[in-house]
Structure 1
Amino acid sequence: MSDLTGFGIESAVKRIQNYAKVTPLLTSSTLNRYFAELLNLPVQNSPKLFFKCENFQKTGSFKCRGAINAVSKVLEADESIQGFVTQSAGNHGQALAFAASCFGKKCVVVAPENASKAKIDAMKHYGAEI
């Protein structure tokens, strides 16, 4: 069942607001002009490009938003859960490790042997057991 309703979105915002950063939404007049030319439209009538800078999140990606929401939602249903397990070579593992740490829970990430050392180190930094 999808939570893509006004209520579901508002609930998710409340769950993540103390943990995820508010990141800027930027646009570029140069790219908007280029895009307008590509579509052969006047700039004022062409679609605008926007960039949501989720790279400014603590984990470096948007994935922490979903992970925080999921962990929070699971814990609302059952506070006794001790931790979380996932498989990831990078951003998802970091996000879940961060989210679990926000709630004082353990996180185990099953990562491939060829996963980036930087990604593994970041997961460990957020408390994950690899």
Structure 2
Amino acid sequence: MKSTAKHDERMAKMTFAEVYPHYVTKVEKKDRTKKELHQVITWLTGFNEKALQKHIRDKTTFEEFFQQATLNPNAHLITGMICGYRIEEIEKPLTQQVRYLDKLVDELAKGRKMEKILRTE
């Protein structure tokens, strides 16, 4: 499925704060922890705990969130399908970055080992 300009715009304007509680619920429902979720987010973005809380408090859009992030050099290793999109085929960098995060959260919730999620193996 090819993303549309409308889809890309929606992703850019969505705030991290509105999606974050869904990430927490998703992983905790599968017996993973908020600490593990933060580890995954930190790996992808470079944000520490204080920075994550600031993004939540400030209702940062995903566009601003990823502009300020230092994307992990191994992020390109995140591949596969998420929400009907093949991640490696997404053309708009911001939409791809949001889907990277979605994919990592999904892998965490599915019980994948942390070293595999963080692409260290």
Greater length-normalized contact order (CA 8 Å, ≥ 6 residues apart): 2
Hey, which of these two has a bigger chunk of helix by percent? Answer: 2
Larger radius of gyration: 1
Length-normalised TM-score, structure 2: 0.28
Length-normalised TM-score, structure 1: 0.27
